[in-house]
Structure 1
Amino acid sequence: MDENCRLNAGVCRVDFTDSGKILSVDDDFFRSTGYSLDYVLEKEVSFYSLFEDKAREDIEAQINSAAEVGGVFCVRHNIITRDGSSMFVHCCGIVKNLKCVDIIVSDCNCHDRLDDVYKKLIRKVEEQRDKLHMVAENTDDVYYDYDVKRDIMHLTVSITRFRLDYDNCLENFLGSRAAEEFLHPDDCEAYFDGWKSALERPMKGTMEFRTKAYDDDYCWYSDAFISFADESGKVTEVFGRLSNIQKLKTLTTKSDKDSEYIRFLLQTDQLTGLYNRKGFTQNAANALSERQEGMVYAIVYSDINDFSYVNENFGYETGNTMLRDYTACLRGGASYIMGCRIYSDYFICLCRSKNRAALIRSVEQQNLRFTTMQKKKFPSGDIRIACGMYILPDGDIELNTAIDNANLARRSVKHSSSILCGIYSQRMRMQKIYEQSICNELHSAIKNRQIEMFLQPKFHLEKRVIIGAEALARWRNPNGTYKMPFEFIPVLEKVGYIDELDFFIYGEVLRTLEKWKHDGRSIIPVSVNFSQHHITQPKFVENIIKTADKYDVDKGDVEIEITESCFSGDTQALFSVMDKLRSVGFKVSIDDFGIGYSTLSVLMNAPVDIVKIDKSFIDNIEQNKNDRDFVANMCSLIDTAKKDIIFEGVETDAQAAILCQSGYTKAQGWLFDKAMPLDDFEQKYMYNNVDK
């Protein structure tokens, strides 16, 4: 506090049982009155003697009255100071024991100083108001001061539609609901509710509303206010600032629209306008949470057969047009709710109909419409839809599981031209569980050597002596039986785990050849199969060579078999792989030749050493002359290309005799021997002969 405004006050202790004798005084008492402790003790000054005669009776009565109840007394009178001057003081104390009462004596003669301070404060307030008016006049903001008791609103601007007096004041502001005339109808209730809250108690707040009070049309304003209360807590004044936030609202609205558009882009496939996977799963889940009672719902998964052929031969724009055509067919379906393009030509739909039959019929009809449309555009083509449906059960369903089930149904009819829509069954789920178990168990099966290399001998047809072997994979079950290749190899090819299996068998072949060499056996070449999945791997050849270099083997004793299905892809990349393998000494053969993926013209240029003729070509050569002639002609062309030939699946002496008479000398099949474990093979062919 400013020292000029501080009151002088001191304490004296008095014994009122001894004529009000002062027992002690403190320094503040001395400074304010001039009476020191020494003086009052020496002169035995009485507390009553400090006051004029007419005040003494009042003081004595007040003290006696307070003593009766042990209460407080307060008196205000002029005191005679030590220098004889008069000073108006306030005396107070608690009278519990008349023998010892502490009395606080304070100087109350400060009105002049308080007057000066008050005037200074008033000047500061006026200066602040002038500054506020200056700010208001130079900004777009409107400041106001509302007098609650008088219901008068004072504004800092006169440019308004309100009917103000000469001092920019509006009387009966809330009483007449003056603002309602210019408020947007939708904002009136909230506006006056805001004022009601501001008047209930002291508070700070903000409200937003649209008004035409300061503009030609409705504009958004923000009212930031603070309400003040008197000593009783009743609000007496509200001060606030009105800011035009129309531009901010416009930007916010634009931002909201932009955000909505961004959400649309994040959930939508730009080519077709359907949802993408994320958008579909979110919106389909919402739709399924509000199913219509009595309706049947399904997830439909579909793709366009041979779509890559369209892109490669007719261009991507033609492919895009086809995707849009299919989208139109989906949306035109009677059961369609919403759809999604996952990627490329793969689509998912959520469909609904009154019963299962109607649902299936609707999906089949939309697929037929698309097929008919494409037949008109591509008369020589056979563009069809592979489609699978999963009927959703009642109750909650995990959507991704439903999509997987529909996809299983699609894959089950992928290569069927007669089934327009495959329907999911539990058998498909069991098949998938089986496939998952195969994948999950592969690593441990390899580690625990449950995956075994079997060898099937290759024979000279005329001499009936072993000339080589083919390495095959077998999976031993815990009970000693074996899984056959068709039970696990297609699964591993589908998920990409075939790489590990192929290289494991390849390693077994190299280890076996090294062992035979170190044991002094006559080495026979061994062929090992590699899936077409490897051809697209950039380090396939490098890994083949690095693995072989770890063993003491002649690469010429290793025959790399590549299935004919590899020719359905990039033949130039395939030829490059073959060239690299042959350049370092490996033999390369084509397995299962003739099952439909390649042509003789492609074979003529393929850098291979051996062609293995599929057994289907010789199954009927005993009975059918046409089959014999066909095999002879085919092999004649292969001979022309200087490729060695070996026949697979020779099962009878008659087949062997026919092939031998035709000049072909190499074959494998059950006529000679079946595939067998390595130990059995070695005992029978490698360690039980003249070289032992």
Structure 2
Amino acid sequence: MRGINKIYKIDAKNIQDYLDSSNKIDPKMQSFKVALVYAIVGVIWIITSDNLAIQLAGRDNLYEQIQTYKGWGFVLLTTLVIYISIRNSLMLFDKAINEIYQNYDELNKSHETLLELEREIERQLQELHILAYYDTFTKLPNKLMLEKEIINLINNYKSESSADKFAFICLAIDNLEDINDILGHKYGDLLIKDVGDTLKDIVFDSNKVSKLKEDMFAIVLVNIKDKDEVVNKVNKILLKLKRGWKVNNQEFHITYNLGISIYPIDANNFNDLLKNSNMALSKVKTLEKDKISFYNKKIEEINTVKINLINEIIHAIENELFSLYYQPIVDLKRNVVIGVEALIRWIHPKKGFVSPMDFVPLAESIGLIDNIEQWVFRKALMQKKFWNEKGYKAIKISINLSSKRISNDCFIDELCSMTNSLEIDKSEIQLEVTETSVIDNLETSSEVLNKLRNMGFKIALDDFGTGYSSLTYINSLSMDVVKIDKEFIKSIFDKDKNAIIVMAVMNLIHSIDLLVVAEGIENIEQKEFLKLNGCDMGQGYLYSKALPAVEVEQLFNIQFE
């Protein structure tokens, strides 16, 4: 485009010189000049030729006059013809020149517009480049730019046949969610910018730093020899980052987790380096805060198993491959079954029995627990309906609620609809929650449980003794039953104090008008102790393990010793 501009400017200069006022053609004046020259030459020719003719042939007045008039007439006529012809031609030429000038003027304006457009396009391209390759908030390179830089770095290492390595580090801010919740996202953004600015200051030379996502940065440390060197450099970076962060006179101690992969030991391309660093980061996040983790093959193997298990859970949900087992709950005074706890079981076609502890927390973490719990409620209530029709209406059924369900009351209408359509008395349904599932969102959980209790459902606090074991929570959550955890029961006779603690706990629970269920009763001594100290109900292997519906039904008509 610049070459075209150069040619265009030279031609434009020539045209402009030609159209200058001193050089501009006036068709009438030019025609007049040509005709005048012709007339003068013609007059001179007539006079000269006439004189020559007189000298040679003599003077004849009439002839002379005729010749003179004829000559003058011819000169005048031809002068007029030449003037008109030249004038018309020059006027056409002048018109063409004017049109050329107008077109040139328009072209010149278009040229200026194109130049302005070119400048605007260049500016927008620069902006697009920044938007495409840089984080607009921290001004750090983003993932796309980092990928380009890593590819170039790897190509340089390969071309130089270098034995050096580089470390690819994913650094995540642990406290960002807390700051967003307490102070708002405005201050969370300020923290991110502050961390980005700090990293720009301390990561320099050929090392690289970029922004990957909201709470995560990437750091590339080049020319490293081993993991010890990486740890030393990372600790120097963290020394600058780990400082009190003060906002509105409130100080926050910022912590970080780091996942690290090494080129070319762990991976030899950008995507795998990023993936492996993220895997190492995910591992350390699940363990504790403020730690560094290097990638290793075992992490990937664990993740592969986890991914496969997730796919199998989805397949099991879609094809209803789970089943419900029921563990009897026994009235310790009458020694008869008064209820059952519905427990999900998964008999895998290849792996056999898969513990709920392996798949339920995983299903909850990936958002599949709703699908599982819907199935559990439907199957358990249908089984309750079946037992009611067979005459076992007195058998209550207990169903566990996950923390996700307790924190959202959307499922209540669904649960009520199922119990109403199956004509089941809500007082025969007991919903079990754990302390840990309600503590994180106590206010909402309390509202949900109160709604359920007011509708007629029974509420039980499960696994009491494994969490905070606070009677304050029991009282505020409006419970009907407290289930003492099996570890509490198991340790009754380990020390004298343990038995005293269990008795005190049961007395306190009774003092606020709640029933007590002891879980994990395995022997007669435990049963007798609990019965003697006023425990209302119990469940455990002494009576029965969890059984399929057909088998547990056989225990409804017997009396335990």
Q: Same fold (TM over 0.5)?
A: yes
Q: Give 1:148-167 correspondences, 5 Å limit.
A: none
Shift of 1:385: 2.0
Deviation by residue 1:446-467 (Cα, 9 ceiling, x = unmatched): 4544311111222233443222
Residue 93 of structure 2 corresponds to residue 126 of structure 1: yes
Q: Give 1:14-33 correspondences, 5 Å limit.
A: none
Q: Distance in 1 between matches of 2:118 and 2:551?
A: 80
Q: 2:122 aligns with which of 252, 256, 259?
A: 256
Give the aligned partner of residue 139 of structure 2: 273
Q: Give 1:581-600 correspondences, 5 Å limit.
A: 581-596=452-467, 599-600=470-471
Give the aligned partner of residue 205 of structure 1: none
Structure having the larger proportion of residues in strand: 1
Give the aligned partner of residue 517 of structure 2: 646
Amino acid in structure 2 at the alignment position of 1:354: I
Structure having the larger proportion of residues in helix: 2
- 8 Å CA contact 2:381–2:419 kept in 1: the answer is yes
Note the aligned Cα RMSD (angstroms).
3.9
Deviation by residue 1:582-610 (Cα, 9 ceiling, x = unmatched): 23222222333343367433332113322
Amino acid in structure 2 at the alignment position of 1:556: S
- Secondary structure of the corresponding residue to residue 242 of structure 2: helix
Q: Give 1:493-532 correspondences, 5 Å limit.
A: 493-532=364-403
Q: Distance in 2 between matches of 1:323 and 1:600?
A: 41
Give the aligned partner of residue 433 of structure 1: 304
Inter-CA distance 465–318: structure 2 relative to 1 (3 Å threshold): same
- 8 Å CA contact 1:592–1:612 kept in 2: the answer is yes
Q: Give 1:145-224 correspondences, 5 Å limit.
A: none
Shift of 1:388: 1.9
TM-score of the aligned structures, taking structure 2 as reference length: 0.72
Residue 102 of structure 2 corresponds to residue 135 of structure 1: yes
Give the aligned partner of residue 342 of structure 1: 213
Deviation by residue 1:331-370 (Cα, 9 ceiling, x = unmatched): 4257951222412x34444443412312243234433543
Deviation by residue 1:633-660 (Cα, 9 ceiling, x = unmatched): 4444444443333233333444333333
Amino acid in structure 2 at the alignment position of 1:467: I
Give the aligned partner of residue 685 of structure 1: 555
Q: Which moved more, 1:424-433 or 1:265-274?
A: 265-274
Q: Distance in 1 between matches of 2:286 and 2:478?
A: 32
Amino acid in structure 1 at the alignment position of 2:386: K
TM-score of the aligned structures, taking structure 1 as reference length: 0.59
Shift of 1:421: 1.0
Amino acid in structure 2 at the alignment position of 1:131: N
Q: 1:456 aligns with which of 327, 339, 342?
A: 327
Q: Distance in 2 between matches of 1:350 and 1:560?
A: 52
> Highest CA radius of gyration, 1 or 2?
1
Residue 436 of structure 2 corresponds to residue 570 of structure 1: no
Q: Distance in 1 between matches of 2:432 and 2:521?
A: 19
Runs of 5+ consecutive residues of structure 1 not aligned to the other structure: 1-114, 142-240
- 8 Å CA contact 2:326–2:342 kept in 1: the answer is yes
Give the aligned partner of residue 174 of structure 2: 305
Shift of 1:277: 4.8
Amino acid in structure 1 at the alignment position of 2:96: R
- 8 Å CA contact 1:326–1:370 kept in 2: the answer is yes
Inter-CA distance 395–371: structure 2 relative to 1 (3 Å threshold): closer
Q: Distance in 1 between matches of 2:189 and 2:508?
A: 42
Q: Distance in 2 between matches of 1:548 and 1:399?
A: 54
Task: Provide the identity percentage.
Answer: 24
Q: 2:163 aligns with which of 282, 285, 294?
A: 294
Shift of 1:423: 1.8
Shift of 1:279: 5.4
- 8 Å CA contact 1:333–1:363 kept in 2: the answer is no
- Secondary structure of the corresponding residue to residue 261 of structure 2: strand
Q: Which moved more, 1:572-581 or 1:630-639?
A: 630-639
Q: Distance in 2 between matches of 1:627 and 1:382?
A: 40
Give the aligned partner of residue 74 of structure 1: none
Q: Give 1:24-423 correspondences, 5 Å limit.
A: 122=89, 125-132=92-99, 135=102, 245=111, 248-250=114-116, 252-265=118-131, 267-277=133-143, 280-281=146-147, 284-285=150-151, 287-291=153-157, 293-313=162-182, 316=185, 319-328=188-197, 330-331=199-200, 332-333=202-203, 336-343=207-214, 345-357=215-227, 358-371=229-242, 373=244, 383-393=254-264, 399-417=270-288, 420-423=291-294
Amino acid in structure 2 at the alignment position of 1:303: A
Deviation by residue 1:617-645 (Cα, 9 ceiling, x = unmatched): 33423123443444444444444443333
Shift of 1:482: 0.8
Inter-CA distance 306–524: structure 2 relative to 1 (3 Å threshold): farther
Amino acid in structure 2 at the alignment position of 1:528: I
